[in-house]
Structure 1
Amino acid sequence: MTTNPQPSLPIDTSRAHPARVYDWLLGGKDNYPVDEAVGEKLPPEARDAARQNRQFMHRAAAWLAGQGIDQFLDIGTGIPTAPNLHQIVQNIVPSASVVYTDNDPIVLRHAEALLVSRPEGATDYIQADVRRPEDIVQHARHVLDFDRPIALSLIALMHFITDEQDAHGIVRALVDTLPTGSYLVLSHAASDLFPELAAQVTAEYAKGGIQLGFRTRPEVERFFEGLDLVPPGLVTATEWVQPTPTSEPEASGIYSGVARVS
């Protein structure tokens, strides 16, 4: 089943939005000139990073479903791009339930049309901001059973939340609601792998009114404090559980990890 999303709110086309810039980087059409203007000024590696990040999500979601996880809370969903998370996990566990969250109204408009669950499972969508984790959890409880393991997915989201906005505290608040056996899936842009490139990307986003907070490896590792990182640990997006590691992984400026709540 799919539950009914909230009424759509007006879309602000005068300012760039991370979800729409990301859509442009992935070759999507659900963006506006203001978003394209930001994307066009980014280096070519930004498109590579978007693709690598998306592929990491695919692999991590499939791995979790393979472990028997059948509940997912995906925050920072972005504009739907097939295959979406629920399509991946429900292909493995048809009865899986997925709750999507984003703060861009355009995502809500597409959610109603694209986030269609298998009959055995459930999908839901809430327009909300990760900076208000209590609102997200309160809504998610209507679909997900917080007495059973849940996979919390924060894909390329937390580098849009600065230290002043307490990024680590937000993730901790969300993780603290999860029962034992749950997982945190997180990817995050690095400031220390390719420093000059990271500085260029940060500057171009800032010109578009989007503040970024890329982080070092130790700073990203803090998001996983108290959790058990599964192999291969905190690595780049292209290094995380490659299905056929026949060659050296492609270079990546994205840190990625999956960790279990014990």
Structure 2
Amino acid sequence: MLLPVRGLVLGGGGITGVAWETGLLAGLSVAGVDLTRADLVVGTSAGSLVGAQILSDTPIRELYDVQLADPASGETGLRLGLSFLFRFIAASMVPGSEQRTARRLGRTALRAHAGPESQWVADFVKKRIGAPAWPESRLLVPAVDTETGELRQFDRQGDVPLVNAVAAGCAWPTLAPPITIGGRRYMDGGIRSPTNADLATGCDRVVVIAPITSALRRRQRISVQLAALGPGVRSAVVSPDRAAKRAIGRNVMDETRRPAAARAGFAQAASVATQVAAVWI
């Protein structure tokens, strides 16, 4: 009997999303459900950071402890620009293809002054994932071409360094600069979908951990994307409960809320462990 192929989908959600996902994964591990042993991890935006971390040699408990550490003095994180969020919502509601919408947002990303690429790669991404090479387990990092609006999927099969792929997958317009890879410039994979759960193709069982579940287009909805994987795929979706939402707050880039978000994820794990285990084990 063949073992099922298991996929873990880690959605976007900023700094607090990284913390909540890490706490949840650590709590599930304590409950006997180890999602870090997935055959495939699809990491969108912040989820790509978590994916790279959990597939490294660092134990999940250590990664959780890092999230619990108090932010450095004066470190408050970044703030998502409201002007771009309004443009994102407006562009997503205009009739037309998702690719056309992405091109509109890509033009905004290219015009923004979000600092040098090298600083984003080194200061925000590299110091968080540390890992210099792609993990042995398959990690898939989606990003979007700013010019064409096309999806690009980065993994270990290509020649793109892990840190550059994650930097591109996390490059939310106006917050971070588009990242240049192979002469093309890429932005956050969350532009296409908060989770990109439909990229977990070939998996028999899929667990989606999604700090953000709202979607402006039907095709971006988690339920629709999971259905696209096929009728025989067993799945579970976990999103922040009420306590976790309070801990995360409104600004997902707020470093000061990171420890509380991590603790909330860890605490929530106990209430979802049975649901997740039914799919995973």
TM-score (norm 2): 0.33
* Greater per-residue helix proportion: 2
TM-score (norm 1): 0.35
User: Taking CA–CA contacts closer than 8 Å with sequence separation of 6 or more, which of the two structures ends up with the larger relative contact order?
Assistant: 2
